[in-house]
Structure 1
Amino acid sequence: MGLRAYIAKRLVYMAILIWAVITVNFLIFHMMPGNPLQQYVQSLQRVSEERYQYLMEKFGLNKPLHEQYITEVTNLITFNFGVSKRGRPIMELLKERLPNTLLLMGTSTIISIILGTLIGVIVAYKRGGALDTGIVTASLLTYSVPIFFIGWIMIAIFAIQLGWFPSSLEQPISWSRNPPSNILELIAGRLYHIALPCASLVLFTVGGWILLTRACVLETINEDYVITARAKGLKERTVLYKHVLKNASLPLITNVALSFAFLVSGAIITETLFSYRGMGLLIWDAIYGGGAGYADIPVLQAVFYILALCVIFANFIADLVYGIIDPRVRYG
């Protein structure tokens, strides 16, 4: 199978997956016990029958199920997510929250991948020594500690005790009324406010990258082609990063793809803990209704659909990289 046929096959799979995601997304929320609109109405003090029928028509819940499904498919494909239960356009909410999440999650993910890969290669090369034992133990510890505990420690030490960093929000409150015109001041302020949540996420995730990289490298470090490369007189750094890491990279590529795919979902616990207005906090508020006692189903459907699209697209990119790095994948 050539590369073009391989790509075409993956595109067909991707289209089928998108249709399946839309269908499951529709069925999950429509097969839930109870009427989501009824929950919303019960949270209001008084609702007339006319108002109730208006809301049913507004959210399309008075149509037959198959018509609702067709409308759902059309809206999701065209990214027409409608409005939330609070009356705000969902696309407006996504445009407001998504950049904050991409900044936080993107920064922490890139730092974790770089640090975890570099340290993982080093400890695999020095396997069995004190450095290997110490770093593996520390990685297991940080990887197993709950993220909210790491966040609490960060807030207690660096925000409350030392006062070095703010404990909440993604920017100074004054910026909502008077944002800075200086781009450097804007960047510095945003980075200053994401320092603690970003550090918490890095500490929580870098251990997993170290352990994964170490395991992948150990599987390939004693292969015949590595021994041959050393016999040719190549520098150890060249052997490690050009021969060993390259051939151990396929599992890492999958993990990298999925990590970036889940960027849009945010870190629900971390964003809630730090009151960081990103996608994670949006999901939390949509599930619990911002304290109103009802779930914001349209928002949840939109977020889950966007998340699923990112996962599917990231896996598609990973499959393409697989096919380029290892041609055997295309013929499997």
Structure 2
Amino acid sequence: MGLKEYIAKRIVYSIILIFAVLTVNFLIFAMMPGDPLRQYMARVELATTQEQYQMLREQLGLDKPLHQKYVEYLGRMLTWNFGKGMIGGGVDVTSQIMQRLPNTLILMGTSAVLSIIAGVLIGALVATKRGSWFDTTMVTGSLLTYSVPIFFIGWLMIFFFAVQLKWFPIGGVEPRIWGRNPPTSLIEFLAGRISCLVLPTITLFLFSVGGWILLSRACILETITEDYVVTAKAKGLRERTILYKHILKNASLPLITNVAMTFGFLISGAIITETLFTYNGMGLLIWDAMRGGPAPDLPTLQAIFYIISLCVIVANFIADLLYGIIDPRIKYR
């Protein structure tokens, strides 16, 4: 099977998978116990008669049969018409997502790129020094940062660098002083945004870089004793060339899979980190949709889960194509 046939086959599989995800996403919320309308009315202490209650159910479409709800739900999801959410005063869900998505992409993208690059490079170096004090120190440190709860790392960042040293803001997307004195230049704007990004970015970096170090170390240790490595050494190639051009390339397939999954889940944000730093991103939006209103904001949660699933499917599709480019031994079937 050629590359074009493989891509066409994968596209068909992806479309089927998208409809499967849409169905599961619909059933999760449709089969939830309780009546979301009654939950909302109870929390806001809204007293209505039975007739008024039935009228509200008809207006919201809650009285329709399950199959009709499903067809209308598919139409909304496929046309990206997510309706209005409960949080933010009934603001359109798409507007809520587009308002917070850039903040999450900046935060998660920066921390992901830094942790992947640093973790893979350090992991490769650690693998070549297996059994040394450097290897022991890095493995121990990686296990420590990877196992410590992320909220604890965030608390330490806030306590030392925001509360004690006052080097960075405690939280937020932009400095609070901008409410009274907005920035007057591009440099001032960038400096203010970067200062709010530093602590959450370092928190996410410290939490995730250990996993990348351990993964890349394990992948390289599996290939470092292969015959082509011995041959490259016999040819007199430099150790750095052998490591980063030959060993790392052939050990990169598991890394590509994890990179794809990392970027696939990028827009989901970091719920704990964004809540801790009150960073107005997708993670905080998910938290607000679950806990911030009188009742769970089901339209917002449905839309977010659908978009996350789409990104993961696309990321895996791209990873499958990259396998054959990185390793010519892989045949498309």
Tell me if structure 1 keeps the 8 A contact 2:104–2:282.
yes
Tell me if structure 2 keeps the 8 A contact 1:90–1:299.
yes
1:73 aligns with 2:50: no
Q: How many residues align?
A: 330
Deviation for aligned residue 1:5:
1.0
| Structure 1 counterpart of 2:141, from 138, 145, 169 | 138
Any residues of structure 2 matched to 1:190-201 within 5 Å, and which?
Answer: 190-201=193-204
Moved more, 274-283 or 320-329: 320-329
Deviation for aligned residue 1:138:
0.3
Counterpart amino acid of 1:52?
Answer: Y
Q: Cα distance 1:330–1:75, how it changes in 2: closer, same or farther (>3 A)?
A: farther
Partners in 2 of 1:92 and 1:177 — Cα distance? 25
| Structure 1 counterpart of 2:292, from 276, 283, 289 | 289
Deviation for aligned residue 1:60:
2.2
Counterpart amino acid of 2:325?
Answer: I
Partners in 2 of 1:176 and 1:301 — Cα distance? 33
Partners in 2 of 1:323 and 1:58 — Cα distance? 52
1:14 aligns with 2:17: no
Counterpart amino acid of 1:242?
Answer: K
Partner in structure 1 of residue 269 of structure 2: 266
**Stretches of structure 2 lacking an aligned partner (at least 5 in a row):** none
Partners in 1 of 2:82 and 2:182 — Cα distance? 29
SS in structure 2 at match of 1:164: coil
Tell me if structure 2 keeps the 8 A contact 1:171–1:193.
yes
Tell me if structure 2 keeps the 8 A contact 1:41–1:52.
no
| Structure 2 counterpart of 1:245, from 243, 248, 251 | 248
Deviation for aligned residue 1:12:
1.1
| Structure 2 counterpart of 1:187, from 181, 186, 190 | 190
SS in structure 1 at match of 2:267: helix
Partners in 2 of 1:176 and 1:6 — Cα distance? 53
Counterpart amino acid of 1:128?
Answer: G
Partner in structure 2 of residue 3 of structure 1: 3
Partners in 2 of 1:160 and 1:262 — Cα distance? 31
Partners in 2 of 1:274 and 1:252 — Cα distance? 30
Deviation for aligned residue 1:72:
0.7
Partners in 1 of 2:112 and 2:53 — Cα distance? 45
Tell me if structure 1 keeps the 8 A contact 2:169–2:175.
no
Counterpart amino acid of 1:30?
Answer: A
Partner in structure 2 of residue 210 of structure 1: 213
Q: Cα distance 1:90–1:55, how it changes in 2: closer, same or farther (>3 A)?
A: farther
Deviation per CA, 1:143-162, whole angstroms, max 9, x where unpaired? Answer: 00000000111111111111
SS in structure 1 at match of 2:137: helix
Percent identity, please. Answer: 63
Partners in 1 of 2:56 and 2:155 — Cα distance? 42
Partners in 2 of 1:103 and 1:119 — Cα distance? 24
1:59 aligns with 2:75: no
Partners in 1 of 2:130 and 2:83 — Cα distance? 55
Tell me if structure 2 keeps the 8 A contact 1:3–1:323.
no
Counterpart amino acid of 2:83?
Answer: G
Counterpart amino acid of 2:330?
Answer: V
Counterpart amino acid of 1:2?
Answer: G
Partner in structure 1 of residue 126 of structure 2: 123
Deviation per CA, 1:26-73, whole angstroms, max 9, x where unpaired? Answer: 000010111112211212222434653454244321221111101111
Partner in structure 2 of residue 233 of structure 1: 236
Partner in structure 2 of residue 90 of structure 1: 93
Counterpart amino acid of 2:265?
Answer: F
SS in structure 1 at match of 2:236: coil
Partners in 1 of 2:157 and 2:44 — Cα distance? 39
Partners in 1 of 2:53 and 2:194 — Cα distance? 46
Deviation for aligned residue 1:331:
4.2
Partners in 1 of 2:146 and 2:331 — Cα distance? 35
Tell me if structure 1 keeps the 8 A contact 2:324–2:332.
no
Counterpart amino acid of 1:126?
Answer: K
Partners in 1 of 2:184 and 2:5 — Cα distance? 50
Deviation per CA, 1:125-155, whole angstroms, max 9, x where unpaired? Answer: 1111000000000000000000000011111
1:154 aligns with 2:157: yes
Normalized against structure 1, the TM-score is what?
0.95
